[in-house]
Structure 1
Amino acid sequence: MIKQSIFGRISQLAKANINAMLDAAEDPQKMMDQMVRDYNDNIAEAEQAIAQTIGNLRMLEDDYREDEQAASEWGAKALAASNKAEEFRSAGKADDAAKFDNLAKVAIQRQMQAESEMKTAEPTITSQRQIVDKLKSGLNMMKEKRTELASKRDELVARAKSAHAQNQVNEAIKSVNIMDPSSEIGRFEEKVRREEARVRGAAELQASSLDAQFESLEDLGEQTEVEARLAALKAKQAGTLES
């Protein structure tokens, strides 16, 4: 009953499905911290109860040792009184012998009383020692569970933070996809390409204009030569006629 009363509540906590509780928790870290605090409180409560149980056992053991010592002392007194009675009896002092025999009987009765109390206490002491051993073992298990719980808390809190950070990254990526800057870059690139095409067009236009000018100059030169040759021909004809 003692062991059950001490560990009953803590066993429920030890068997709790932490991951399931995390699913419903708004703040997993706060929940886990509270679980560790509750566990520490239960361990402190168990330590106090165990300390009291151990104290009670030590009192029983002290009483047992006192009864054991008393039984030994009364046994020694009974023996001393009996020996004294025999001395008086050998000396022919029957009354004194009877007196010390009676003292020996009283001492034996006290010895038997102490032994009876020892015998009565033995099962209780044995039982209490077993309970204390179980309580100590249970307390050690609780402390191991607390270590596991603290480690699990650290792991789950780290995982929760990692998941939160990953979610933020995903949301950021989603936002980037919604407002894709590559489309703006594409528009700017198209604008640059149009400007480059315009420049090439202007250059080609300028080149074609120069070619036309050179071609007109060539035509003008040809026409001039034609006029010169015609003038020379006419001059030659005029000279022939005058002769």
Structure 2
Amino acid sequence: MGILTRFTDIMKSNINALLDKCEDPAKMIDQTLRDLREDLAEVKKETANIIADAKSADRQVKECEADIAKYTTAAQNALKAGNEDDARTLIAKKQQYENNLISYKKTQELTNANADKMRLMHDKLVNDIETLEAKRDAIKATVASAKAQEHINKIVSGGDKAKSSMESFERYEKKAEKMLDAATAEAELNAHTSAASSLADKYTSNGSDTSVEDELAAMKAKLGL
């Protein structure tokens, strides 16, 4: 029965749901198309045999029904002619065909049901393939745009990092300049303090010398020198 064993799976398959779930629709759509085309080829191959079986079963049923009708008429005619033994033989033959008809009808029902399933699968697969082929270019274009946008987002994200790094560098640069200004100011202050200290020492020394001279003069005066 081959492909017929997959009738339920094929008929329940939902192309749109499948594409929504997969991570990479562009890759999935090509693989799905290959699978569907393989299934369709198998359906076409098996459908011919199954339809042939259905037609054969139909023919057997019709032939059997015709035989039943023929032997029924013959038995009736035998009775009318007063030949009960012939009628009995004809009725027995008719009953054989009636038993065969039960089996033929079961086969007819099964083969026709299988033929209907094959037609349904054929139409479903053809429709799915046409749907995917119609969507393939659009889906691939959408995926390509999405990937391009992701690439742009990464570049923009990298630019933000560079901008952040530059801002940090500028902050460090300003901090360094501030430290340099502070050090320069401290150096200037130290230099000014050093000059003032030198002047103080100078005039302090002169003051000490004057005091010595004054005391020396006073001592001379006291000694009358």
Aligned to 1:188: 149
Task: Tell me: CA distance 1:238–1:20, structure 2 relative to 1, closer, same or farther (3 Å).
Answer: closer
Map 1:50-61 onto structure 2 (within 5 A).
50-60=71-81
2:198 paired with 1:233:
no
Which is further off, 225-234 or 189-198?
Answer: 189-198
Q: 1:23 aligns with which of 43, 48, 52?
A: 48
Shift of 1:199: 1.0
Map 1:1-243 onto structure 2 (within 5 A).
22-23=47-48, 36=58, 45-60=66-81, 63=82, 125-169=84-128, 179-180=139-140, 181-242=142-203, 243=206
Shift of 1:221: 0.2
- Aligned residues of 1:43 and 1:143 also touching (Cα < 8 A): no
Deviation per residue, 1:17-46 (Å, 9 max, x gap): xx9995399xx6xx959x74x666655544
Give the TM-score taking structure 1 as reference length.
0.52
- Aligned residues of 1:50 and 1:135 also touching (Cα < 8 A): yes
How many residues align? The count is 159
- Aligned residues of 1:46 and 1:139 also touching (Cα < 8 A): no
Structure 1 gap ranges (5+): 1-18, 64-120
- Aligned residues of 1:50 and 1:132 also touching (Cα < 8 A): yes
Task: Tell me: CA distance 1:153–1:220, structure 2 relative to 1, closer, same or farther (3 Å).
Answer: same
Identity %: 6
Task: Tell me: CA distance 1:156–1:32, structure 2 relative to 1, closer, same or farther (3 Å).
Answer: same
Give the greater-gyration-radius structure (CA): 1
Whole-Å Cα distance in 2 between the matches of residues 152 and 222 of structure 1? 102
Shift of 1:231: 0.7
Quick one: which amino acid aligns to residue 240 of structure 1? D
Task: Tell me: CA distance 1:21–1:208, structure 2 relative to 1, closer, same or farther (3 Å).
Answer: closer
- Aligned residues of 1:50 and 1:136 also touching (Cα < 8 A): no
Please give the root-mean-square deviation of Cα atoms over the aligned residues, in Å: 3.8
Task: Tell me: CA distance 1:58–1:128, structure 2 relative to 1, closer, same or farther (3 Å).
Answer: closer
Quick one: which amino acid aligns to residue 59 of structure 1? K
Whole-Å Cα distance in 2 between the matches of residues 155 and 137 of structure 1? 27
